[in-house]
Amino acid sequence: MRNSNRNGTLMLALGLLSICLLGQTEKTDLKKVISEYENMIGTCHCKSIFRDQKGAWNDTINLTWNWKYIMDQKGIQDEGWYFSNGRKYHFTSIRVFDTINKQWYVSYFTPNLSSVPETWVGGKQGNEIVLKKEEATENGLVESILTFSNISKKGFDWEGKVMNKEKEMVYPFWKIWCLKEE
C-alpha cells in the first residue's frame, strides 16, 4: 500500500469525524464552504477526452456525472459513468471538508481499483476548485492536479493534469466539459 493513499484515507476518516463533532459555529462555516459545489449539484451531461497509454488523445466520449449532498448536507458525492471501447465504466468520489485544516478531502473510487482509494486535497482558489495529490513515480515526484473551472448554474469544466516539479513539466491527461440538465 502506498503511503500517500494510506494518509489520504486517514485524512478522509478524520474529515468525516470532524463533521460529526462540529459545533454550531463550524456548521455555519461549513454551509458556506459546501455552497462552493452548489452549482454542480444535479445531473450533468458531459463531453470527455483522455489520453491513451501512448499519450495520444482518444476520441471524445459522452459522460454522465451526478452530484448530490450526503450526510445531512455536510458532504458531497458525485458518481458518473461513460462508455469506452464497448465497456461501461463507473466512478464515484466523496468530498468532505476538514474544518480544522480548512481543506476539502476528496477520495476517488472505481470498481477496478487495484489499491486503496486515492485522495486529493484542496479547495477554492479564486473562481476555481483545485485539488492536489503528490506521489513518487519512476520519473520523480509528481503532483496530480484536478481543476474545476468555469463553474456556473449551466455547468463546469474539469481538467486532470500531472506536474513534474523537478522537471517543471505539466501533462494534461483528462478534460471534461459539462452542461447541467435542465
Q: Per-domain residue ranges for the chain?
A: 3-53+61-180
Looking at per-residue confidence, does 88 or 9 come out higher?
A: 88
Residue 118 to residue 113: CA distance in whole angstroms? 9
In tens, the pLDDT along 125-181 reads: 999 999 999 988 887 789 999 999 999 999 999 999 999 877 778 899 999 999 999
pLDDT level of residue 14 (50, 70, 90 thresholds): very low
Give, for 162, the enclosing helix (H) or strand (E). strand 155-164
Residues, the chain, total?
182
Class of CATH domain 3-53+61-180? mainly beta
What was the pLDDT predicted at 72? 87
- Spatial contact of 59 and 51, defined as CB atoms under 8 Å apart: no
